[in-house]
Structure 1
Amino acid sequence: MDDQNFAVNFRIAPGSTFKLATMMAVFEETNISPNDLVNTTGGRYLHLHDSNNSGYGVISIHDAFIRSSNVGMAKVLVQHFASKPDKFIDYLEQFHLADKLGFQVEVSRGNELPEFHRTTHRLYSKKTLPTMSIGEEMRLSALQMLSFYNAVANNGYWIQPIIVKTAKRGDLVEKDFTQTQRRDSKPICSEKTLKIVQKMLTDVLEDAHGTARSIRNPNYRIAGKTGTSKKFNGKLKTNNYYSSFIGYFPVEKPQYTILVSLDEPHNPLTGQSAYGGTAAAPVFREIADKVHALDLNMHRTLRGKAQHSSEWQDELASSHPQDLQSIARSFNVKTSASGWDEVPRGSTQRVPNLKGMSLRDALYVLENRGYKVLYTGRGHVTAQSLEPGTEPAEKSITLELH
């Protein structure tokens, strides 16, 4: 059981979710296009390898990102920053990934700042830059990454995360934390770069090769990135993983940014570690679906002519007449159904229309009229042996339920 707040007090290697920062820095520094090519053939580069052991061949930078190719990301970053690795760290600071957040939850000593290695750091080596391209050889909190993605969703404008807006005593506001909340006056990257990376994040779900294509939603659009990073035992890597997905929705006008991180998830069928696309992304989708269902402002307005099918009329026929009229008026629906009869206790005249009633309701109506009732099946009444509206000589009726 954790006794610390994972979102702010744990600094870990973010893994492939960090590739967004890699791409943003490259597009800011150069004039390359996401359609430019990178060779991932063989699936290996220096000490790094792709999850697809043979690589993906010669593919576009865009495809290297949505497929989460470690080889592709490392090659692109090294090509453009090998001669100036500290400039890459400068961009991370521009993106607020190296900032002290100043969050409203106490952070344990030593975890206040993210950890990146400049060339002057004693741990810096020739492997550092390519390793950083895939979100390794660094440590930062989940909230740090969430704030970065939220800036991308917010048209490039970074906002300091807070969980308490105001402190009140009764109706008196004693402190308004939004007044001191840090908000950028300019975006963290150019509009050109922003549009490119937003499209790439969307294609992680909407492209046939995207690592999160399985959670694509037909009702609203999501943009995001999968991530998987190995856990450390002291200074040594283990065979266990953190699996994550960070995304925002709806794409057209983002309202929510969510990070899901799972500690050592396993596939129950294989017993092997589960990755960002197969473990964390489905959890994100489940949460997002519930949020979307509750936020009516995000729902599309559907227009069209009402269909007055016989099935619809049959459903209306099982309604209480007052409820039926109220529903019909609210939805501007014309109906020939009259609903079921309201039956005064002890009434013994006409046979009531029982179609659509549950057995419990039908028994209540009939027994109050003195009928002996037989029935077959389960469910609701679909047929009755006596015609509604008639006055039978014998008070015996058989009901068919389905």
Structure 2
Amino acid sequence: MPGQPQRSPIKEAILRRVKVLYVLFLLLGLAVIGRVVWLQAGTEGETLRDLSDKYSYRTEIIDGARGDIYSDDGRLLATSIPYYELRMDMAAGGLTPELFALNVDSLSLCLAHFFKDKNAAEYKAELVAAHAEKKRYHLITRRKVNFLELQQLRKFPLFRLGPNRGGFLAVENNRRVHPHGSLARRTIGFVNQSGVRLGIEGGFDEYLRGQPGRTLKQKISGSFWTPIASDQNIDPVDGYDVVTTLNIEMQDMVQSALQEWIVEAEADWGCAVVMEVATGDIKALSNVTRRADGTLVEDYNYAIGMSMEPGSTFKLAGLIALLDDAHMSLSASVDTEEGKVQIGPVKVVDSHAGGFGRLTLQQVFEKSSNIGMAKAVNRAYGSQPARFVNAINRLGIHKPLELQLAGEARPLVKHPAMKNGWDGTTLTMMSYGYAVRLAPIHTLTLYNAVANGGVMVKPVFVRELRQHDRTVRSFPTDTLNRAICSQATLRGVQRSLEGVVMNGTGRMLRNPRYRIAAKTGTAQVAIGRHGYTNSAGGRHYLGSMVGYLPADKPKYSIIVALKTYHPAGSRNPYYGGSLAGPLFKTVADRVYAMHYNVNNRVVTKAQVFDPTLKALPGPAAPLEGLLKDLGIAGAPRIPQEGTVAIDSGGRVVTPTLMPVTAGVPELKGLTLSEALETAESVGLKPKFTGMGTVVAQSIETGTPFEQGAEILITLGHN
């Protein structure tokens, strides 16, 4: 056209080529779209999808087996056993409609007979509905089964054909079990899915859980995946076993005693701890809560997690400070007047009506006079309160113990340098155990140091980590303070603690068999910001007692504590001596009875026989020696296979004898705890699998064996 520029032949050629390419790309795109539609809707697409499913791969994480937890003598406290969730893949490649219809009735009957939770018609209706919907992960029952039950189920119709033809899927889950039931349950602890870690399970979770591995799996059919060889596969590493310091017999004894006295005293909660003096090993630790309906549970570790004003048990720290730092004499005279005095802004009262009058410092401690301790502390430190607190802190009780268990409460010992929390009342109140907060385990650690010649050691809950019976790590005793005071002060303090039992508030502990050194404690429990009395006039009290035995050669230190509520006008006992004293005596007597050789004295008091109890077989010679040492007269002759036992009340009994075999004992029909105790009593090392009573044992009854031989106990339901 006139006026328009003419395109050059080169530009025309380029445009033609662009148009051709445009058309080719358009056609190619249409072809791709068409092919996609064809694959989605056509028969060839179904074949390709099946092929894709067949050759699908995925990497799965495999957890290592969680380690077991053992008592001090190698008996199981916690272990993991497998349980299985039962499911069906109704779209499994080999599960044809004809095969399903042929077996569904018999399968339903078998399931109804086995589980007894639904009838056969109900099972069939659920299976048919799931098959019609081609469910790939149908849950057969909510109940999980153990390994032995799984072996029975694998024989059922369809299930016996496996995952590909029968669609049967058994999904393994591990469950943590405690062979000794609720014994030391809170100390053993747990780790839950929310990440809460408590007790030994929580404190040693990184060792118990091991290291996860991974494996490459290939999808074979439906929901069934099989492992395949790959350079990327990593085997899981099993967790370490944890060997604790807990003694099962002592734990059982302490726990039963605590439960008895919680009920007797109508206490809200209580705790009791037994510690080996020289090593710091915690041999027993029990915590019990009494709910409103009267049931007893172990739902909180009060012994290490409840920080409270300890009351008069804290007077030991004040006495050490007065003797070792202020150089006051035990014979120093203190006038407690008539039991009520005003010291600065604090009205101090003694429990004894009319007061004690003039006492020596040792008598002040023995009789637990609040007035006497407050006057002595103010005489020595009234113008230098920081010096008193510094003397207390040198003991080391103001710092956390950094226990092996999670949940330790943080101690609080106030200091004048604090901006808040120190006033004109603090020094006086601290002298008799207020304005300071400690958990029972902290108080026990101080008293244990007195028993241990002045050496303060950290409480120990775990001694070893093991893997396949090989020790991989040990936890030695950790010394926190090599000398809490001078030896002269220590001797005076020990004499004063024995004086509490002989002449003071602990007289109920006196007995002709062995000596105890102890201190009682009573504290009102503060109710938030409302002081120590609630709106109805009621008060909460913590009664405690802590000490060691035998006083002349200490083997064990013990603390017990009971928290009670007293409504206005209540006459129930709440002082440490009357409330916690009987519990302490029960625990001390039973500990002594179980370990009668903690000193060289002979028990001369006649013991009571109970012929109705049963016991496990054992060698006769050491038992006859025990009866002789205990001075028991009139005991029936013990046959060579016989035994005696000490019951929950600390009494020596002659039990009904169980049948004795020359080799491995008969375990079939026993409960798990009975089987473990029977096997261990003759020197076997038992392992177990399943749930229920014993249905099989790996070594036949009567078979000779070597000490320490392993025996597998199989549990099930007959």
Structure 1 and Structure 2 fold alike (TM over 0.5): yes
Q: Is the 8 A contact 1:202 1:224 kept in 2?
A: yes
Question: 2:527 aligns to what?
Answer: 233
- Aligned counterpart in structure 1 of residue 462 of structure 2, from 148, 158, 164: 164
Question: 2:45 aligns to what?
Answer: none
Q: Deviations over 1:120-142 (max 9, x none)?
A: 33121111001000000111111
- Aligned counterpart in structure 2 of residue 135 of structure 1, from 433, 441, 444: 433
Q: Is the 8 A contact 2:416 2:422 kept in 1?
A: yes
Question: 2:449 aligns to what?
Answer: 151
Q: Does 1:196 align with 2:492?
A: yes
Q: Is the 8 A contact 2:522 2:575 kept in 1?
A: yes
Q: Secondary structure at the residue paired with 1:237?
A: coil
Q: Deviations over 1:258-305 (max 9, x none)?
A: 0000011779xx74342111121111111111111111322545599x
Q: Secondary structure at the residue paired with 2:473?
A: strand
| Within-5 A mapping of 1:262-273 | 262-264=562-564, 271-273=571-573
Matched residue count: 302
Change (3 A) 1:303 1:24: closer
- Aligned counterpart in structure 1 of residue 518 of structure 2, from 216, 224, 227: 224
Q: Is the 8 A contact 1:242 1:263 kept in 2?
A: yes
Question: 2:557 aligns to what?
Answer: 257
Question: 1:65 aligns to what?
Answer: 365
Amino acid at match of 2:532: K
CA distance in 2, matches of 1:263, 1:187: 33
Q: Secondary structure at the residue paired with 1:168?
A: strand
- Aligned counterpart in structure 2 of residue 32 of structure 1, from 324, 328, 334: 328
Question: 1:121 aligns to what?
Answer: 419
CA distance in 1, matches of 2:602, 2:391: 44
Q: Is the 8 A contact 1:19 1:134 kept in 2?
A: yes
Question: 2:317 aligns to what?
Answer: 21
Q: Which moved more, 1:250-259 or 1:80-89?
A: 80-89
Question: 1:205 aligns to what?
Answer: 501
- In the TM superposition, residue 240 of structure 1 has moved relative to its aligned partner by 1.7
Q: Is the 8 A contact 2:497 2:518 kept in 1?
A: yes
Unaligned segments of structure 2, at least 5 residues:
1-288, 290-297, 534-538, 605-619, 629-636, 638-718
Q: Is the 8 A contact 2:377 2:431 kept in 1?
A: yes
Q: Secondary structure at the residue paired with 2:526?
A: strand
Q: Does 1:51 align with 2:351?
A: yes
- In the TM superposition, residue 71 of structure 1 has moved relative to its aligned partner by 0.3
Change (3 A) 1:81 1:299: closer
Q: Is the 8 A contact 2:516 2:550 kept in 1?
A: yes
Q: Is the 8 A contact 1:242 1:265 kept in 2?
A: no
| Within-5 A mapping of 1:2-401 | 3-45=299-341, 46=343, 47-107=347-407, 111-178=409-476, 181-184=477-480, 186-207=482-503, 210-235=504-529, 236-238=531-533, 239-264=539-564, 271-298=571-598, 300=600
CA distance in 2, matches of 1:175, 1:118: 43
Q: Deviations over 1:156-178 (max 9, x none)?
A: 00001111111111222222121
- In the TM superposition, residue 7 of structure 1 has moved relative to its aligned partner by 0.9
Q: Is the 8 A contact 2:397 2:411 kept in 1?
A: no
Q: Is the 8 A contact 2:513 2:603 kept in 1?
A: no
Amino acid at match of 1:32: M
Change (3 A) 1:223 1:118: same
Q: Secondary structure at the residue paired with 1:174?
A: strand
Q: Is the 8 A contact 1:249 1:257 kept in 2?
A: yes
- In the TM superposition, residue 199 of structure 1 has moved relative to its aligned partner by 0.3
Q: Secondary structure at the residue paired with 2:454?
A: coil
Q: Is the 8 A contact 2:396 2:481 kept in 1?
A: no
Q: Is the 8 A contact 2:412 2:438 kept in 1?
A: yes
CA distance in 1, matches of 2:311, 2:603: 44
Amino acid at match of 1:138: V
Q: Deviations over 1:279-335 (max 9, x none)?
A: 21111111111111111322545599xxxxxxxxxxxxxxxxxx9xxx8xx98xxxx
Q: Which moved more, 1:169-178 or 1:73-82?
A: 169-178
CA distance in 1, matches of 2:323, 2:422: 24
Unaligned segments of structure 1, at least 5 residues:
305-322, 332-338, 340-402
Q: Which moved more, 1:28-37 or 1:62-71?
A: 28-37
Q: Secondary structure at the residue paired with 1:165?
A: strand
Q: Secondary structure at the residue paired with 1:233?
A: coil
- In the TM superposition, residue 197 of structure 1 has moved relative to its aligned partner by 0.7
Q: Which has the larger radius of gyration?
A: 2
Which runs of 4 or more aligned residues in structure 1 lie more than 4 Å from their structure 2 counterparts after TM superposition?
Answer: 301-304
Q: Is the 8 A contact 2:395 2:481 kept in 1?
A: no
Q: Is the 8 A contact 1:97 1:114 kept in 2?
A: no
Amino acid at match of 1:237: Y
Higher strand share: 2
Q: Is the 8 A contact 2:549 2:555 kept in 1?
A: yes
Q: Deviations over 1:223-271 (max 9, x none)?
A: 010000001211321322000000100011100000000011779xx74
CA distance in 2, matches of 1:205, 1:13: 23
CA distance in 2, matches of 1:67, 1:286: 22
CA distance in 2, matches of 1:163, 1:72: 38
Q: Secondary structure at the residue paired with 1:264?
A: strand
Q: Secondary structure at the residue paired with 1:24?
A: helix
CA distance in 2, matches of 1:130, 1:297: 43
